[in-house]
Amino acid sequence: MLGRSEPQGMMITVVVCAALATVLGGWPGLALAAEKGAPAPQAGPKKESRAVIKTKFGEMEIKFYSDLAPKHVENFLKLAKSGFYNGTIFHRVIPGFMIQGGDPNTKDFAKRESYGQGGPGYGVKAEFNETPHKRGIVSMARASDPDSAGSQFFIVVENSFFLDRKYTAFGEVVRGMGVADKIVNLPRDEKDNPKERVEMTVTVVE
C-alpha cells in the first residue's frame, strides 16, 4: 500500500505543475516571477499633495506630515481647495519668531480689530508630535484649548523649540523661506499686525 501512494502523489504534483505552466504562460512576467521565486511587481509610492502659498513677495511651497498630523493636513488641504485662504493675509509677524495667517476675518479691511479671532467654525483635535519647531516648520495656531485649531497657521522663521509638543506641527516649507523672511520684517503696529497687507493665494499641487 505504501509503495502505491508515492507514485500517485507524484502524478498529482505533475498535473498541478502542468496546469500552472499553462496558465502562467499567458503572462510572461508572472511566469518568470514564479520560476525565479521573485515577488510580483508592485505599484510605486503614492505621491503626497503639496501646497504653494503665493504672495506679492514670491511663493512658498509646503510639504505635509500626513503620517504625524493626518487630520490637520486633511483640514488644511480641504480649506485650501475650497479657496478659503485666498485673499487672507499674514496678520501677525514677530521678527525672530514666526509669521501667522489663515484668518478669514482678514479678508475684510473693516474688521482689523478682529484679526486673529476668525476661523472655519470648528476645531481640530490636537495631534501634538515630536517634530521640533525649527525654522521652516508649519504649525497650527490655537487658543488655550488644545483642540481649538481651525484655519490659522504659522510658519517658524527661527528655531522655537519651546513650542514643541504644545502646537501641532503638520508641514514644512521646502522652497521660498526667503519670502517668509521678507514678511516677518515688515513694519508692524503694537499688536504685531503688519502695516502692509500681504495677501495669499493657496494652491494645492497633487
Decide: helix, strand or coil at residue 139: strand
Cell of 149: 485649531
Q: Which stretch of DSSP H or E encloses residue 32?
A: helix 28-36
CA dist 111 and 121 (Å) reads 17
Neighbours of 4 (CB within 10 A): 8
Local structure of residue 103 (DSSP, 8 states): -
- pLDDT by residue, tens only, the chain of 206 residues: 334 334 444 444 444 444 434 444 444 443 334 444 555 555 555 678 999 999 999 999 999 999 999 999 999 999 999 999 999 999 999 999 999 999 999 999 888 899 999 999 999 999 999 999 999 999 999 999 999 999 999 999 999 999 999 999 999 999 999 999 999 999 999 999 999 999 999 999 98
Q: Do the strands 169-175 and 201-205 form a parallel or antiparallel pair, or are they unpaired?
A: unpaired
- pLDDT value, residue 46: 61
- pLDDT value, residue 37: 52
- pLDDT value, residue 173: 98
Cell of 202: 493657496
Taking each continuous run of H as one helix and of E as one strand, the counts in the chain are 4, 8
- pLDDT value, residue 47: 72
Q: Are 119 and 104 in contact (CB under 8 A)?
A: yes
CA dist 178 and 59 (Å) reads 9
CA dist 98 and 90 (Å) reads 10
The pTM assigned to this predicted structure is 0.78
Neighbours of 90 (CB within 10 A): 27
